């Protein structure tokens, strides 16, 4: 008996894809323009609905054919892969072609890897090992959204084999019980491997939702007859509660505590989806025609909305209404074309296979050429590397390693024949001054930096959580910091420079806190306590704490990367939009800097240095180029070498010209 068409499922898919698209849109807007809209912060949960529905429908199809003794593994693979692959291949090819003209070479090179991983169905693992979905800069990942499709394809490949194995071991009659056992094992696996909150993209932490869909299929008739049969009011009630649970999650769920995902994050959505499926309301409110139509288009819409939006923002689109309307129209057009001419099998299998092969070959070539494309000749060399190599020829000024601990070096910069009376320490936000200190300033000083690492006291060095750095790396930082302080002489100077706001993620992840002002204030308090824990022991050393810098937007960073002043391309990319920036970090920069400033006022030997003063233009605007027109920003927070030189000159003039 063939499975009946269910309009409620298509309607539920429609709601899910709308939530996902809105979440992605505002996520990309946040990345490009640092929008603060968080209304749809839980929209990513729409993917949970797709996972459960996929498991439900696939199980239905397989079991019905097993009951009729007509199941064919080869036919199953052919049907599923021929439905899912052609549109996916088309998106990959489209991105490669358009990317040649509009992407920066570094992003184009990354795209080539994404295509290879997506078309070999392992993209979700690569993204997971690159920091996780919610920690990545989404604006430079054109195929990031395909992680879900990689999991789906992996499921399609293993699931029928699993069912056949279970049928052989336990028989078709006992398949429901066996599937319950599989679901239980998958849940345990998900719980274990998502303990650190990093399981969102991993197959073995998400596949339980597909198995749940299978279990729902096996027990739907029993539950329906016991609960819903001839009780239509209960069908409506369950359906409304199910949709309400999902919508509640969409508007209230936020992975702000370090972008951590756990089973519990998806729990309400899973319950809500299960209620809708089990209620099986043939007169469903979800059968609203426009909603079911969106549900039918959901696969193509999911595929195309993400890269189309990114390309539009790359070309200078903004949050202006006319731009937003244009984006909506473009997404709708690509979705319709994909659904009608590719998803509905209007494109031959041979053509899809040819495009697949060509896309793989092109991706390998693009990667081998380091992403070379139309924009390559226009790329500012300072945008390729944050700190340029040194140009020092005098060996007396060549940096030397004075000590190492756990392979972390402490350098001596400047004249090697003079004693250093300054210690510069921090993360990469100290590193971006290194060219200035090494090649321009040339004063003798000790210099140590560790990326994404902080350790000025027992609080942060003691946290067990891993975000960018590990507990061991922060301990190493702290040990080096304390050791160098102990070797310095009265009157010596210590310059501390970090991107302070990034360690808020460490703080809330360590204590599993929600992102709110109360947590942020507690973070600042912990930060000041750490700074003071060592400073109080050295009243005769002079400490200079560099404040929190502003954040620019990815859109401005991209604009700064290419020197298009003498090219017609400047009209396409609208390079005049990046002549200045506002601070996209917002009021939290002031909270951090005010706290450090007040702390400095309470100590005779501590000075607060506001690095943003070097860029301030007034009216909340900040410069993005040097006097010579060079880009200040390497990314949204780090300076280029010219930027580090300009800001570094200001910062260290406060240090070396100080009376302290």
Q: What share of the chain is helix, strand, coil (3-state, %, to 5)?
A: 65, 10, 30
Residue 414 lies in a domain: yes
- Number of domains composing the chain: 2
Residue 576 lies in a domain: no
Q: Which residue, 335, 370, 405, sits at the end of a domain?
A: 370
Q: Do 101 and 187 fall into the same domain?
A: yes
Residue 558 lies in a domain: no
List pLDDT tens digits, range 586-629: 899 999 999 999 999 999 999 999 999 999 999 999 999 999 88
Residue 595 lies in a domain: yes
Q: Give the separation between CA 54 and CA 298, rounded to whole angstroms.
A: 13
Q: Do 486 and 603 fall into the same domain?
A: yes
Q: Do 316 and 443 fall into the same domain?
A: no
Phi (first) and psi of residue 215, to 5 degrees:
-65, -40
Q: Other C-beta atoms within 10 Å of 228: how many?
A: 21
Adjacent-strand bridge partners of 608: 545
Q: Which two tokens stand for residue 30?
A: 């946040």
Q: What is the pLDDT of residue 258?
A: 46
Q: Which residue, 313, 339, 370, sits at the end of a domain?
A: 370
Question: Which residue in this structure is represented by tokens 């593994």?
Answer: 73
Q: What is the pLDDT of residue 136?
A: 55
List pLDDT tens digits, range 499-556: 999 999 999 989 988 889 999 999 999 999 999 999 999 999 999 999 999 999 887 8
Q: Give the separation between CA 339 and CA 336, rounded to whole angstroms.
A: 5
Taking alpha carbons only, the member of 307, 270, 24, 17 closest to residue 141 is 307
Residue 52 lies in a domain: yes
Question: Which residue in this structure is represented by tokens 């140590």?
Answer: 448
Q: Do 542 and 615 fall into the same domain?
A: yes
Residue 376 lies in a domain: no
Q: Do 359 and 411 fall into the same domain?
A: no
Q: Which residue, 305, 340, 370, sits at the end of a domain?
A: 370
Q: Do 437 and 290 fall into the same domain?
A: no
Cα angle vertex 17, ends 15, 23, to 5°?
105
| CA atoms 71, 73, 78, 83: torsion sign | positive
Q: What is the pLDDT of residue 130?
A: 76
Q: Do 332 and 438 fall into the same domain?
A: no
Q: Give the separation between CA 337 and CA 561, rounded to whole angstroms.
A: 34
Q: Give the separation between CA 424 and CA 435, rounded to whole angstroms.
A: 13
CATH of the domain at 540: 3.40.50.1110
Q: Do 409 and 260 fall into the same domain?
A: no
Q: Do 366 and 396 fall into the same domain?
A: no
Q: In sequence order, which ranges of 516-627 are alpha helices (DSSP H)? A: 517-535, 554-561, 569-573, 587-601
pTM of structure? 0.82
Q: Do 337 and 396 fall into the same domain?
A: no
Taking alpha carbons only, the member of 230, 302, 222, 237 closest to residue 272 is 237
Mean pLDDT by 10 residues, the chain (660 residues): 77 97 88 66 94 97 95 95 95 97 90 98 90 63 95 97 97 97 96 80 95 98 94 95 96 66 90 97 93 97 96 80 90 96 88 97 97 90 82 87 96 94 97 94 95 96 92 97 97 98 93 90 98 97 98 85 76 76 92 98 98 95 92 93 96 83
The full 3-state SS of 381-449, as one line of letters, equals HHHCCCCCCCCCCCHHHCCEEEEEECCEEEEEECCCCCCCCEEEEECHHHHCCHHHHHHHHCCCEEEEE
Residue 575 lies in a domain: no
Residue 567 lies in a domain: no
Domain range holding 396? 392-552+585-656
Contacts of 389 (CB under 8 A, 6+ apart): none
Q: Do 364 and 449 fall into the same domain?
A: no
Taking alpha carbons only, the member of 3, 60, 416 closest to residue 213 is 60
Adjacent-strand bridge partners of 409: 404
Question: Residue 8 class from Cβ within 10 Å (0-12 exposed, 13-18 middle, 19+ buried)?
Answer: buried
Contacts of 210 (CB under 8 A, 6+ apart): 51, 52, 54, 55, 58, 155, 159
Q: Do 323 and 404 fall into the same domain?
A: no
């Amino acid at each position: 008996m063939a499975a009946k068409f269910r309009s409620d499922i298509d309607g539920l898919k429609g709601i899910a894809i709308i939530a996902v698209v809105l979440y992605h849109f505002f996520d990309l807007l946040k990345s490009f323009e640092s929008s603060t809209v968080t209304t749809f912060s839980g929209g990513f949960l729409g993917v949970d609905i797709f996972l459960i529905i996929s498991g439900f429908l696939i199980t239905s199809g397989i079991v019905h054919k097993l009951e009729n003794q007509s199941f064919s593994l080869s036919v199953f693979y052919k049907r599923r892969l021929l439905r899912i692959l052609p549109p996916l291949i088309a998106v990959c090819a489209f991105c490669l072609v358009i990317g040649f003209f509009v992407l920066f070479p570094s992003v184009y090179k990354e795209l080539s890897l994404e295509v290879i991983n997506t078309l070999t169905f392992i993209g979700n693992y690569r993204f997971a090992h690159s920091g996780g979905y919610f920690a990545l800069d989404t604006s430079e990942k054109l195929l990031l959204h395909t992680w879900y499709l990689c999991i789906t394809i992996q499921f399609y490949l293993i699931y029928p084999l699993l069912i056949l194995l279970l049928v052989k071991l336990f028989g078709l009659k006992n398949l429901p019980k066996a599937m319950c056992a599989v679901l239980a094992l998958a849940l345990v696996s998900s719980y274990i491997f998502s303990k650190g909150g990093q399981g969102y993209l991993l197959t073995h932490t998400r596949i339980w939702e597909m198995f749940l869909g299978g279990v729902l299929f096996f027990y739907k008739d029993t539950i329906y007859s016991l609960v819903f049969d001839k009780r239509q009011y209960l069908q409506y009630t369950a359906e409304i509660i199910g949709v309400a649970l999902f919508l509640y999650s969409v508007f209230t769920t936020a992975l702000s505590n370090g972008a951590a995902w756990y089973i519990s994050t998806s729990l309400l959505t899973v319950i809500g989806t299960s209620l809708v499926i089990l209620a099986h309301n043939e007169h469903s409110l979800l059968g609203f025609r426009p909603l079911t139509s969106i549900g039918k288009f959901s696969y193509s819409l999911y595929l195309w909305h993400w890269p189309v939006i990114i390309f539009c923002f790359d070309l200078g689109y903004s949050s202006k209404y006319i731009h937003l309307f244009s984006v909506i129209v473009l997404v709708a057009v690509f979705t319709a074309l994909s659904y009608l001419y590719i998803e509905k099998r209007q494109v031959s299998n041979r053509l899809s296979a040819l495009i697949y092969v060509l896309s793989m070959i092109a991706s390998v070539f693009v990667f081998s050429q380091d992403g070379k494309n139309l924009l390559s000749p226009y790329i500012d060399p300072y945008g390729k590397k944050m700190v340029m190599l040194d140009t020092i020829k005098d060996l007396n000024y060549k940096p030397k390693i004075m000590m190492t601990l756990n392979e972390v070096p402490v350098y001596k910069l400047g004249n090697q024949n003079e004693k250093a009376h300054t210690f510069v320490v921090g993360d990469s936000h100290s590193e971006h001054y290194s060219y200035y200190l090494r090649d321009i300033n040339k004063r003798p000083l000790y210099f140590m930096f560790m990326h994404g690492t902080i350790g000025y006291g027992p609080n942060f060095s003691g946290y067990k959580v891993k975000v960018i750095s590990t507990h061991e790396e922060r301990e190493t930082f702290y040990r080096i910091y304390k050791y160098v302080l102990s070797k310095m002489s009265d009157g010596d100077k210590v310059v501390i420079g970090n991107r302070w706001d990034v360690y808020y993620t460490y703080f809330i992840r360590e204590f599993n806190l929600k992102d709110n002002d109360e947590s942020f204030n507690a973070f600042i308090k912990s930060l000041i306590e750490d700074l003071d824990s060592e400073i109080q022991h050295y009243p005769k050393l002079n400490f200079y704490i560099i404040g929190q810098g502003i954040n620019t937007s990815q859109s401005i960073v991209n604009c700064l990367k290419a020197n298009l002043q003498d090219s017609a391309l400047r009209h396409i990319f609208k390079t005049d939009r990046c002549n200045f920036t506002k601070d996209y970090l917002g009021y939290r920069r002031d909270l951090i800097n005010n706290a450090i400033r007040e702390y400095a006022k309470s100590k005779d030997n501590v000075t607060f240095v506001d690095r943003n003063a070097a860029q301030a233009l007034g009216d909340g605007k900040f410069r993005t180029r040097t006097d010579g027109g060079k880009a200040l920003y390497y990314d949204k927070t780090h300076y280029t070498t010219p930027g580090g030189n300009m800001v570094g000159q200001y910062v260290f003039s406060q240090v070396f010209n100080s009376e302290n």
